[in-house]
Amino acid sequence: MADNLFLEIVSPQGIIFEGNIDQVTLPGVDGIITVLPHHVPLFTKLIEGEIEVVQLGKRTSYVISGGFFEINNNKASVLSDYAIRAESIAEAAALEKKRQAEQKLREKLTNEEFTIADKDLRISILELKVAQKVRRRQKP
């Protein structure tokens, strides 16, 4: 019996991650959940946050903007409208995005512009946090 869990992280930008993993930690609505192989079938909502994938003892991080998680029969998938691998986060770009979003929020905005800017801001802050964490982990 395979002891592996197959996970894929899917977003409109494509399949961000795909492969057999040992465990995954996700930001669920009711708190962080960690899923191991042979988990019961589950469908849940995710909030924005960090996904930590353990594959052959190695940890990799992804940032998502919220979405859904589904697992059935050792096949798991994360559906999110924005997902990025922590290593591919360009810190400078994230900083710039954050600065722009903050500036936009200070201006008078219509409702939809506010929603977009607010979302951008939260994602960029999260990206920065995760990117710094990943860097710290690699350094020592």
Partner 1 sequence: MAQNLQLLLRRKKTAQNIAQIARAMEMVAASKIKKAQSTVVANKPYAERITKITSSIIAHIDPEQFKHPYISGVEAEKSLVLVISPDKGLCGSLNTNLFKKILEIDSKNLKLIAMGKRAGQFSRRLESELIAEFNIGTTLPPYGTVYQLIEIINQEYLSGSVSSLRILYTEFKSMFLQIPILKNILPIEPPTQEVTPLPYIFEPKIQDLLSDLLPYYLEVILYTSLIEAYTSEQAARMVAMQNAKNNALDIADYLTLIYNKSRQERITNELLTLTSRNYGE
Q: Which residues bind partner 1 (CB under 8 A)?
A: 10-15, 28-30, 40-45, 67-68, 70, 72, 77, 79, 81-82, 111-112, 115-116
Give the gyration radius of the chain's Cα atoms. Answer: 16
* Least Å from the CB of residue 135 to partner 1: 27
Whether the CB-CB separation of 124 and 94 falls below 8 Å is answered with yes
Shorter beta-carbon distance to partner 1: residue 26 or 131: 26
DSSP 3: -
* Least Å from the CB of residue 30 to partner 1: 7
* Least Å from the CB of residue 97 to partner 1: 12
Shorter beta-carbon distance to partner 1: residue 76 or 130: 76
Shorter beta-carbon distance to partner 1: residue 79 or 105: 79
Structure tokens at 52: 């930590």
Q: 3-state DSSP call for residue 83?
A: strand
Whether the CB-CB separation of 65 and 81 falls below 8 Å is answered with yes
For 12-110, strand residue ranges (E) read 14-21, 23-28, 31-35, 42-55, 58-72, 75-80, 83-85
* Least Å from the CB of residue 59 to partner 1: 25
For residue 137, the tally of other CB atoms under 10 A from its CB is 11
Shorter beta-carbon distance to partner 1: residue 78 or 131: 78
